[in-house]
Amino acid sequence: MKQFLLACLFSSLLAGCANTSPKPVDPVAAAAAQKMAADRAALEKKIDANMAIDPNFIPFDKMSPKLDPVGQGQLLRLLPQLKASKSVVIRGHCYRGDVGNAKAAAQARAIEVKDFLVGTGLLESRISIRFDTERKTHGVQLIFK
């Protein structure tokens, strides 16, 4: 009886191994994966463009204090240099001719970048924050030594 059960078990295992036909591809999953790859490529292209203009300047939307994925990617690329530096100055920029409370917006941008960098492991004690409302620009300038 044991031999019979072993033979049945062995044959069922072999039958499972014999089915090596490829599984059908889920078209929805394939389309989602393709879209994710295209989105990632577009994001990398925008990060490359920002880095080519000025790698130490993170642009912000004129009316936003929030760091977007392009800015996050740019900061992540700069992270090894930032961690190797002795100090980092984060200067928030918001032109007062474009925004009513430019000082608060510039400070909020700098704090947003600081919080992101601290979240990635940069020591908060090495970071200082400044702001500028005179230049006609919107973003954050990183100065590190």
Claim: this prediction has a pTM higher than 0.85: no
Report d(CA 132, CA 19) in Å as an integer.
68
Spell out the long-range contacts of 10-14 with Cβ–Cβ below 8 A and sequence spacing 24 or more: none
Q: What is the pLDDT of residues 41-81, one digit of tens each?
A: 999 999 999 999 999 999 999 899 999 999 999 999 999 99
Per-residue pLDDT at 112 exceeds 80: yes
Report d(CA 126, CA 128) in Å as an integer.
7
pLDDT number for residue 30? 84
